[in-house]
Structure 1
Amino acid sequence: MFESQALAQKKYTDYKRSGVEWLYDIPSHWKVMRFKFLSSITTGSKNTEDKVDTGIYPFYVRSQTPERINSYSFDGEAILTAGDGAGVGKVYHYVNGKFDFHQRVYKFSDFKHTTGKFLFRYLQSNFFKVATLGEAKSTVDSLRLPLIQDFLVCFPENKAEQASIIDFMDLKSEQIEQTILFKERQIELLKERKQILIQQAVTRGLNPHAPMRDSDIEWIGEIPSHWTIKRAKYIFREVDERSPDGQQELLSVSHLTGVTPRSEKNVTMFMSEDYTGSKTCQKDDLIFNIMWAWMGALGVSNRAGIVSSAYGIYRQLHPDTLNPQYLEMLLKTTAYIAHYNKVSTGLHSSRLRFYGHMFMSMEIGFPDRDEQDAIVAHLDLESEKLNKAVDLLEQQITKLTEYKVTLINSAVTGKIKVPGVTEPKTQDMKVA
């Protein structure tokens, strides 16, 4: 729907050279001026109590997750806010998902040729160009006052035309955002459906008519009558083997990704210079992150490697007892995780520990290996279908986000003519 609308957007009758390389042509009646001639800019305080004013449109740009109002993706992080009326606006640095009020604040006011909202939308759409002006090497460095003052802005002098452009952008942004929110909710439902399928299959099996029995164990509950219940100590042994040289692949364990190579994790983590003496694991070993087991930080490794000495490593006494995929899915179900949480020791959640003796004394309910294999094969098939549906929705969201950015940029730089705009006679324009 939105793509077809984009093709139908009208153009202005006459265009002229803007004199600005990245702006290209602009409507013939538009002007180009430097930011410093459009609004006064003053340096605000670094007061940590300084808050974003009610009614001001928040905006930040990140390389991965655009904010709900508007976005432009580039390498860096920043927040830009602005408002109309009183002409209040701020520029913030964005840090770790939170507003950092210790940064320099620029206040824009006394708008002479544009409304505050138009100027905000223009900067919002073209913010990455501010960030790449001059010799700035990072977003924080790029927010220097001289760069903002000399930034070139194109605009129609008629504020009624500016208002029409803003109304158009607000309407289209809201429509696109509502569509994105709907698709995000669909993704959430699909992911919930996947978790329900996994939970049901690994704890109840695939036959809904199978006779059930009460296990009399809180975290196992009812299971098919033919399933087995055993303590972990009769299935596993704890291993503590050490690397003589620390040259094996370094692995990490988290509640989100299970056991994964540290090199694949997109986070900043402390790296040791020497891993000699670290614990080693083998393929199909079960590994618990002792400190975060209460969150489900565990997994079965699909490779040999070295892990933190604080992890617990368990190896099956008989390798064919438990399918590795089935084992990981079972031990990550909510009831089992609730058990780790309950028995872990510590003063509060950030200090809870799930030690080896706690796991070895825990009962596990499971079917024979053939049924486990059938459950895994069924879940692989169903998960693939759901994952494809999620991937398609995520692709649609990406396209919608890109379209919104393109649409806003096109409207605010005169590349398209929004409804309600009447063109005046062509007039000369010079770069201020």
Structure 2
Amino acid sequence: MNIAAYPKYESYNDSGIDGFGEIPAHWQVQRNFAIFRETKQPGATELPVLSVSIHSGVSREQLPDEENVRSIIKIEDRTAYKRVAPNDIAYNMMRAWQGGIGRVHVDGMVSPAYVVAKPNEGVCASYIERQFRSPAYISSMDAASKGITDFRKRLYWEDFRDLGTVLPPLPEQRAIAAFLDGKCATIDEAVRIKEEQIRLLAERRQILIQQAVTRGLTPDAPMKDSGIDWIGQIPAHWSLAKLKFLTNKIVDGTHFTPEYLDEGIPFLRVTDLSQIKEGKIQWDGVRRISASAHKELSKRASAEFGDVLLSKNGTIGLTKVIDWQDEFSFFVSLCLIKLRSELNSHYFEAFFNSPLVDQQLFFGSFRTSVTNLHLERIKELLIVVPPIKEQRELVEHIRELSSPLDEAITLKKSQITALREYKTSLINAAVTGKIKVV
């Protein structure tokens, strides 16, 4: 995976495009108005509605939300929708600065939030898509977008048409696209295999946790029937209780998005729980709000050391015991759980990561098909409750068993990150002529 090993072209000229640097001397730079024409052909009711995914190009419509809270919206009037055809380039005006641009693969239509650009002859749409989704070009689209804040930015056709695009001769465009299709498919398959390995490791970890929280640490302990089929038998001196009877409060965060600042009080979202590394919140990437906004939000829910955060929207079931003293606020996608003394926070965190929760709430579809977990459902969750001393012992036992699995998962994730970074670098090098693949 050494990009430097690829051959280079004989001579280069400055591209004149920020981030692209020098390109092969026989390549051209043309403005988009010379290689595309905007189309606004009306859609048709029988056509599928498409959208641009930041990660994988144009796909069936999804309704993105910055907090990963998905909504279902009934759309009745589609008279302003635009028809798209295979090899059209479509971009979302509000998300182009994030890479929301791609090649269309099927006949369909897009909402009025999209610009549709049809390539002229002499342009290979596959090559163009790779270039437009490269970091350098995304940066150009970001700079050309108009708006005060990220979530109000728009890249209008009038600005997109003036951007420069690097164009090799058509045979080279096709050769580069074919080369990248093959290489990227190999990388994507390697990522898929590692993701499957992570899934199996996580599944193994879940099984170990389930055995611990239903059997305990004493193999010959007297057992009793829990009365619940999917729990089975538990040690005779353990109990079973609904979470609402083991807590002092279960409350979600604010239902509106406050104004974000460069500095201020941390404002946690489900994204922040999904990006935890080695058990720690990555505070540098957390949004910030004013002290006055935090004070107002704290009237609804004031978190304390030892409380538990649980993600309830978008990515369901992420848990984090609050192991820091600094103040923070949080969004509706998270809920705060204040446990009573009968339940250890870290034991609850482990229990929530067992298959017992999947079976109770989602009948096997946990964290996939359900995207909104209501507070009432959380309160009704059944918890297996050992004596508090045994809970602490089980936490240590689970940590010992999970440690090698967690290390293996971390290694696989780092390998996936390296593969994706290599893929990005390879695409960028190929579409700017830094390497010769023809």
The question of a shared fold, defined as TM-score above 0.5 by the shorter chain, is answered with yes
Counterpart of 1:155 (choices 148, 167, 178) is 167
| Partner residue in 1 for 2:347 | 326
Query: Residue deviations 1:240-294, cap 9 Å, x none?
Result: 9xxxxxxxx999999x969x99x9996899x6763686576765568999x99xx
Task: Note the C-alpha offset of 1:193.
Answer: 1.9
Query: Residue deviations 1:125-145, cap 9 Å, x none?
Result: 243133234473458745222
**SS at 2:340's partner residue?**
strand
**SS at 2:435's partner residue?**
coil
The equivalences for 1:342-421 within 5 A come to: 353=376, 364-366=384-386, 369=389, 371-418=390-437, 421=438
Q: Which amino acid in 2 is paired with 1:110? A: N
Q: Which amino acid in 2 is paired with 1:116? A: A
Query: Residue deviations 1:27-84, cap 9 Å, x none?
Result: 22222222222x232242686966468xxxx8643xxxx4389xxxxxx99xxxxx99
Query: Residue deviations 1:410-429, cap 9 Å, x none?
Result: 111211110xx3xxxxxxxx
- Note the aligned Cα RMSD (angstroms): 5.0
* Alignment check: 8 A CA contact 2:213 2:351 kept: yes
Query: Residue deviations 1:353-385, cap 9 Å, x none?
Result: 2698x78xx78442572x433321121223332
TM-score between the two structures when normalised by the length of structure 1: 0.64
Tell me which structure has the larger Cα radius of gyration: 1
| Partner residue in 2 for 1:315 | 340
* Alignment check: 8 A CA contact 1:228 1:366 kept: yes
Task: Note the C-alpha offset of 1:161.
Answer: 2.1
Task: Note the C-alpha offset of 1:103.
Answer: 0.3
* Alignment check: 8 A CA contact 1:253 1:288 kept: no
For 1:230 and 1:114, the matched residues in 2 are separated by 66
For 1:275 and 1:133, the matched residues in 2 are separated by 35
Identity %, equivalent residues: 25
For 2:353 and 2:285, the matched residues in 1 are separated by 20
**SS at 2:133's partner residue?**
helix
Does 2:105 align with 1:105? no
Q: Aligned pair in 2 of structure 1 residues 23, 202: CA closer, same or farther (>3 Å)?
A: same
The equivalences for 1:16-415 within 5 A come to: 16-37=13-34, 39-44=35-40, 51=48, 60-61=53-54, 66-67=55-56, 87-93=87-93, 101-111=111-121, 113-125=122-134, 126-134=136-144, 136-137=146-147, 138=150, 141-157=153-169, 159-207=170-218, 209-211=219-221, 213-218=223-228, 220-224=231-235, 227-229=237-239, 274=296, 284=306, 313-316=338-341, 323-330=344-351, 333-335=354-356, 353=376, 364-366=384-386, 369=389, 371-415=390-434
Q: Aligned pair in 2 of structure 1 residues 410, 283: CA closer, same or farther (>3 Å)?
A: closer
Q: Aligned pair in 2 of structure 1 residues 251, 378: CA closer, same or farther (>3 Å)?
A: farther
* Alignment check: 8 A CA contact 1:131 1:142 kept: no
Q: Which amino acid in 2 is paired with 1:415? A: K
Q: Aligned pair in 2 of structure 1 residues 275, 351: CA closer, same or farther (>3 Å)?
A: closer
* Alignment check: 8 A CA contact 1:31 1:156 kept: yes
| Partner residue in 2 for 1:426 | none
* Alignment check: 8 A CA contact 2:247 2:337 kept: no
TM-score between the two structures when normalised by the length of structure 2: 0.63
* Alignment check: 8 A CA contact 1:253 1:299 kept: no
Q: Aligned pair in 2 of structure 1 residues 90, 199: CA closer, same or farther (>3 Å)?
A: same
**SS at 1:383's partner residue?**
helix
| Partner residue in 2 for 1:12 | 9
Q: Aligned pair in 2 of structure 1 residues 232, 286: CA closer, same or farther (>3 Å)?
A: farther
* Alignment check: 8 A CA contact 1:212 1:222 kept: no
Q: Aligned pair in 2 of structure 1 residues 298, 107: CA closer, same or farther (>3 Å)?
A: closer
Q: Aligned pair in 2 of structure 1 residues 149, 236: CA closer, same or farther (>3 Å)?
A: closer
| Partner residue in 2 for 1:428 | none
Unpaired stretches in structure 2, ≥5 consecutive residues = 59-64, 67-83, 101-108, 251-264, 275-279, 364-371
Q: Which amino acid in 2 is paired with 1:193? A: R
Aligned length: 361
Unpaired stretches in structure 1, ≥5 consecutive residues = 70-75, 78-82, 241-248, 343-348, 422-432
Task: Note the C-alpha offset of 1:178.
Answer: 0.8
* Alignment check: 8 A CA contact 1:214 1:223 kept: yes
Q: Which amino acid in 1 is paired with 2:92? A: Y
Deviates more, 1:20-29 or 1:86-95: 86-95
**SS at 1:396's partner residue?**
helix
Task: Note the C-alpha offset of 1:8.
Answer: 1.9
* Alignment check: 8 A CA contact 2:309 2:320 kept: yes
For 1:228 and 1:282, the matched residues in 2 are separated by 28
**SS at 1:223's partner residue?**
strand
